[in-house]
A and B are shown apart, each in its own frame.
Chain A
Amino acid sequence: MSLAKTQSVAEIKARNKELIEEVLKVYPEKTAKRRAKHLNVHEAGKSDCGVKSNLKSVPGVMTIRGCAYAGSKGVVWGPIKDMIHISHGPVGCGQYSWAARRNYYIGTTGIDTFVTMQFTSDFQEKDIVFGGDKKLAKIMDEIQELFPLNNGITVQSECPIGLIGDDIEAVSKQKSKEYEGKTIVPVRCEGFRGVSQSLGHHIANDAIRDWVFDKIPADAAPRFEPSPYDVAIIGDYNIGGDAWSSRILLEEMGLRVIAQWSGDGSLAELEATPKAKLNVLHCYRSMNYISRHMEEKYGIPWCEYNFFGPSKIAESLRKIASFFDDKIKEGAERVIAKYQPLMDAVIAKYRPRLEGKTVMLFVGGLRPRHVIGAYEDLGMEVVGTGYEFGHNDDYQRTAQHYVKDGTLIYDDVTGYEFEKFVEKVQPDLVGSGIKEKYVFQKMGVPFRQMHSWDYSGPYHGYDGFAIFARDMDMAINSPIWNKAKAPWKAAPKATLIAAE
């Protein structure tokens, strides 16, 4: 059992505060001052976690953050399956983001579906010198010829585009006209914009507003007969099929999902969304902007939900149902009851193996808080958490609904801080990304990638929770962790043991 469980909250708080002081000592003074604002120990009852967020990363530290391009192409636009997304600029960005987020979809790739492909303008020096607009126009012609069943094109700007002053908006407009009104969306998501991928989400949302929604005449009829139960899933990227294991629950309770954003999504679904009666928002951070816009412009209410773990799922189903009539409310109860035996069985099987285990998280925009309930359903405790690119409203939600007194909070954690924190706190599990995974496994600490579900999943919904529970068990209770120290080596240092 880890140390955290043997200490009182006061002791844990004192230790965490000391830890923060300790890591700050290594930095030059100016940097220590900056980083101090991002580290804290949560005090119960406070309205947020007491850390600054959404500020520039410090140069020269190993930040885990990405960039605006990653937020737009990698997260929001990339999964829209029937459009072709051009990584506009040099070859690298598209190459590294190529199919890496496991946004599952159904479709004939290369013919009517394009998610797991890499389209790039592969900028050369001459494009930097003379500008890339002509090349972009030609690329669009070539796309039209070679991929005639594409339903639209987006231009995802990489760093040089904004710097050399290319007019991708003009090219997009002109080509759209030429192709009889085809949806062509320029997205100004150059990687140097903003402080993380977060601004890329916002820019991508604004592009949907300006180049998809605003193109639709207000009186245009939807492609389907509207119903009072039409909802849209917003902010689920269908990692390992998450949106599918969520959608099935909404449909089982009697709602009709008219659009999925953006995992397994299509342009038609984006266009249909303003006809929804309610937008249900999973990843608040990446898609609250467009949800707010639809509320203001079309009067569509939105509500956040959390489909990790049975407690939060049931709470969320009831919350979503509260926007509808009794038929849906009953539907929610029916769904909760239907899956209760499965949840009981999953918990009966895995909770005894996981009870009391501690977790430290560091993930993107919603998971640092949303998965806490799922861990608690398994009897586990999250003892440290933080966001790569969260904003203050994320930390408010975290403080008010998720974390316990004394939890260690680290915003935009640096590699150095994270290593030190884990070494000292000795959690039984760390949940973070590929860049962190092997660092902690080398230390003998079980790890799960909580961006990609370590190539497993789905984790959302009731079906997903069974997989989540199994995966956490297999990570923590893998026999391999007993082998990290050679038997002939002296007794291992206490700080390096993850679990008994």
Chain B
Amino acid sequence: MSTQTPPRYPFAWTPPMQVPEALRNIHKTSAMEVTLPSGDVATLVTRYKDVRALFADKRLSRNIARPDCARISKDNDLFMDPNIDPDPPEHTRVRSLVTKAFTARRIEALRPYVQQVADQLLDEMEAAPQPVELNEALAFPLPIMVICKLLGVPAEDRDQFRAYVDGFLSVTKLPPEEVGQCRQNLWKYLGDLIDSKRENPGDDLVSELIRVRDDEDDSRLNEHELHFWTQGLLIAGYVTTASQIGTGTAVLLHHPEFVRAIREDFSLVPSTVEELLRTQIMGSSVGTMRYAIDDIPLSDGSVIKKGTSVLLSEEGANVDPEVFDCPMELDIRRTENHHMTFGAGLHYCVGAALARMELQVATESLLRRFPNIRLAAPAEELPRALGGFMEGFTEIPVEW
């Protein structure tokens, strides 16, 4: 073993459109050490079969509020709430309360609403002077409005909580005091929201969770959990999808041949969305932090030792040549595309079906409305967000 500092993680997106160079050689071993923005070292698991198996492995705890667990950021206790137990059986109990809202039938019932919001945003975009910045015009407002609707958050509040969430997800972007302030503001905002839903319940998810909290005799959600999971849904339901709509579309527009193919056959939209999810994961896998509570053998014979902080590389798994043919190539017609972007196992992203539906509506509506849409700046110059939890493009000027 060398005594060199392990490479920095997240890997750098240079140039911004290309899969990070570091990912090309990542599958030689099952795991590698990486240095996080905090300076702490964690073990990154790199191969598809290990990543997939470990997402479902009970020897990896999601409870990372432990003194010897690596931290993502020095300035932010991301996902480290000592009052929440994200492992089974606690996790299973909470998850089963939430999944009801995300069945295929419920998601499909939301599709007309998502279409209506998309159409309205595209009307405004059409009327605006070109070039238009896609994040502000479509990518961010669409999922915000959808998650507001689902959770019963008043639409007027969305700019406010967007600012809080940005701060909440800062890794190095904001100083710790500002992160703390954003977190407090968000927590207070959610407290007020919960209070008002208690007085005037609706048919939204927050009202539903409150009902479970207040009515069930076994008191299935305590107040802190109610708060925490509402916050989780709000954050997860917005930033990730927003970042993927913007970044995925930018990548697509960088390939005019694909735009043409889709315009001729809109049934390619779902497989295009999957392929963009596979190849252009907007961030890294810092959010998959786990802690080994036992020794875990990997496929190359090496062993993750008990007490190791572990990250599961979704982006590495997604370009594993053992699983994907020509993994570095964008192929919008890929039929077998079981990527790891939403995780696997019992923690599989509860909002995945909703995100997929939003991505499909956004992509199809945009290309139908603006058949000649293109990037209005050189792809190499699009800035990527650094120092945040999501590393998508921050500015995506488009014209048509």
Q: Please indicate whether A and B come from the same complex rather than being unrelated chains.
A: no
A residues lining the B interface (CB < 8 Å): none
Residues of chain B having any CB pair with chain A under 8 Å: none
